[in-house]
Amino acid sequence: MTRAFKDLTWPASTLVIQPPDGLTLVNFDTNFYTTSTSPITQTVTLVKQQVTIEATPSQYHWTFGDGETLTTTKPGAPYPKLTNTHDYLRIGTYAVSLATTYTGRYRVGDGGWQSIAETVTVEGTPQQLRVIEAQPKLVGY
């Protein structure tokens, strides 16, 4: 069953970056999370038997593009929770990505669920994040 689990195509998780629009500041808590947290099932036929295979996100591997990474079992959360943040120390453009490791289980027909011993990791498409420095402006008293 491990081979079937690994041969199927599982989706990459959605990477959300806050602040939005691909722009953040130096020395600022940039927030990262995903909304892809639910188990996903696919049904295949193996040896004339209907088999349901389920993949559940179990680890998230955050790559921040500046040499720093973070691995978590939690998907992070939107502002104001700030559970997965990263501070960029230099201005520049960084390729940020999220890879998700899925654990699997299967069942034949309406039988009981069985665990799959191995995991599958799906790499997400990198997103460009521009890091700038804020410029103070006096606008009045």
For 81-130, write each residue's pLDDT tens digit.
999 999 999 999 999 999 999 999 999 999 999 999 999 999 999 999 99
Number of domains forming the structure of the chain: 1
For residue 18, being part of any structural domain is answered with: yes
Q: What is the CATH number of the domain that holds 106?
A: 2.60.40.10
Q: Give the structural domain span for 92.
A: 2-132
For 3-57, write each residue's pLDDT tens digit.
889 999 999 999 999 999 999 999 999 999 999 999 999 999 988 999 999 999 9
Integer Cα distance of 9 and 122 in angstroms: 9
For residue 30, being part of any structural domain is answered with: yes
For residue 141, being part of any structural domain is answered with: no
Q: What is the pLDDT of residue 116?
A: 97
Q: What is the pLDDT of residue 141?
A: 65
For residue 139, being part of any structural domain is answered with: no
For residue 140, being part of any structural domain is answered with: no
